[in-house]
Amino acid sequence: MAKVPLPKEKWSGNIGSVSLGDGGVRAGGGKGMPFLSFEDRSYPRALIAGEVMDDVSDFPQIVLDQFGEAASDPVSWAEEWKARGADLICLRLLSTDPDRGDASPEDAARTAREVADATGLPLIVYGCGIADKDADTMEAVSASLAGHRSILAYVEEDSYKRISAAAMANKHSVLAFSNLDINLAKQMNILLSDFGVDRSDMVMDPLMAPLGMGMEYSYSVNERIMLAALSGDRMLQVPMVCDASQAWQVRDCSDDDPSLGDVAERAAWWEFTTALAALLSGADILILRGHDAMALVKEAIDDLGGGA
């Protein structure tokens, strides 16, 4: 009988891994292209980070409805994510924004600690997006989460030193952000490495553009990063974080237009599809907003044989 050869690549590299929480949670470590069991028999299971905000003004009502009462407070919201099976909590400290109440770094850090204590899950912590304030916030967060290895988000080419130093001080990981370009992603990892961040403390976010808003760029950038990393480019062998919650930025995701079908289900598929594209192109950690989407993503990971 004809014998079809298995087109197994001989990769010379693999993705590094980071350990989080008290060390029991690991992300990364893939040795082949995603989910191909003939390349990597135990392709690591991607982790899911459930998104929690400390300020829900401007937040989509459909998501708040999914969480009900729990969403009124970051701790109960995070506990709800844990109960539904999230591996991490992505905490966005929006209240630190000068236009959203200007919460102090200490207050923000206390919230982070409470979420960590209540759930025991590692966190990915974001500030409000204003570089100076975020650096202040992350210094306080780093200290308050000492002993509970988390990910401090995010650092960019022109502002990485303070947050990276804060992360190193307490053995946290740093999320290196770059704008949709394999060379920029690599450059960012080199910068961090030169600054003294250990590769086992780095994760990267090459920007997951959502479905219908440039997703194909991200899909291809991610694939190229994976191919280069597996081919031995050490400066790209860093676990990838993909933020699929950005799907909600796309109007068709949650626009309440009946001709586009049921809006809650459509939003779940919009986020799911963005997440699946991320998984197939190499995501190690997915940030998700809706728990409907998480249920679908988990089912898909099982069906793909991830972490088997």
Partner 1 sequence: MPTAIEFFKFLPKTNCGECGQATCLAFAMQLANQKATIDACPYVDGGAKEKLEESSAPPVRAITIGSGDRAVSMGGETVLYRHERRFVNPTAFAISISDTCSAQEMEQEVSKYLDMAFERVGTVFNIDMFVLRDDSGDPESFRTAAVRLRSLTDLPLVLESSSADVLSSAAAELRDVRPLIYGAGQDNIEAMVAVAKENSLPLALIGNDLDRMAEMVEVARKGGVEDLILDLGSSSMKHILESNTVARKVSLRRTFKGLGYPLMNLVGSGPAAMMKASLAVMKYSSLVVFDSLEAQQALPLMTLRQNIYTDPQVPIQVKEDLYPISDPGEESPILFTTNFSLTYFTVRADIEKSRQPVWLQVVDTEGLSVLTAYAAGKFSHEHVATALQASGALDRSKGPIVTPGMVAKLSGKLEEALGRKVMVGTMESSALPKFLKNLRQ
For partner 1, the closer of residues 223 and 233 by Cβ is 223
Q: How far is the CB of 276 from partner 1 (least distance, A)?
A: 5
| Least distance between partner 1 and beta carbon 293 (Å) | 11
| Least distance to partner 1, CB of residue 280, Å | 6
Closest separation in Å from C-beta 36 to partner 1: 6
2 burial (CB, 10 Å; 0-12 / 13-18 / 19+) is exposed
Smallest separation (angstroms) from partner 1 to the CB of 10: 14
What's the full length of the chain, in residues?
Answer: 308
Instruction: List own/partner pairs for 268-272 with CB under 8 A and 24 or more apart.
Output: 268/292, 268/293, 268/296, 269/296, 270/210, 270/211, 270/212, 271/244, 271/245, 271/247, 272/296, 272/297, 272/300
Output 18 or 304, the one with its CB closest to partner 1: 304
Cβ proximity to partner 1, 148 vs 298, nearer residue = 298
**DSSP calls for 59-94:** --HHHHHHHGGGGGSHHHHHHHHHHTT-SEEEEE-G
Q: Which amino acid is at 56?
A: V
DSSP letter at 300 equals H
Q: Which is nearer to partner 1, 25 or 36 (CB)?
A: 36
Residue 243 phi, psi dihedral angles, 5° rounding? -95, 90
In this structure, what is the dihedral angle of CA atoms 176, 180, 183, 186, given to the nearest 10 degrees? 20
Query: For residues 293 and 169, what is the distance between their CA atoms, to the nearest angstrom?
Result: 35
Residue 20 or residue 301: which is nearer to partner 1 going by CB?
Answer: 301
Nearest approach, Cβ of 207 to partner 1 (angstroms)?
Answer: 10
Positions that interact with partner 1 (CB under 8 A): 1-7, 35-38, 58, 99, 129, 209, 211-217, 219-220, 223-224, 227, 249-252, 259-263, 265-266, 269-270, 272-273, 276-277, 280, 296, 299-300, 303-305
Residue among 238, 239, 263 nearest 251 (CA): 263
Structure tokens at 236: 């790209």
Residue 307 CB, shortest distance to partner 1, in Å, is: 12
Considering the complex, state which of residue 161 and residue 251 has its C-beta at the smaller distance from partner 1: 251
In 3D space, the residue among 225, 228, 300 whose CA is nearest the CA of residue 268 turns out to be 300
Q: Nearer Cβ to partner 1, position 4 or 147?
A: 4
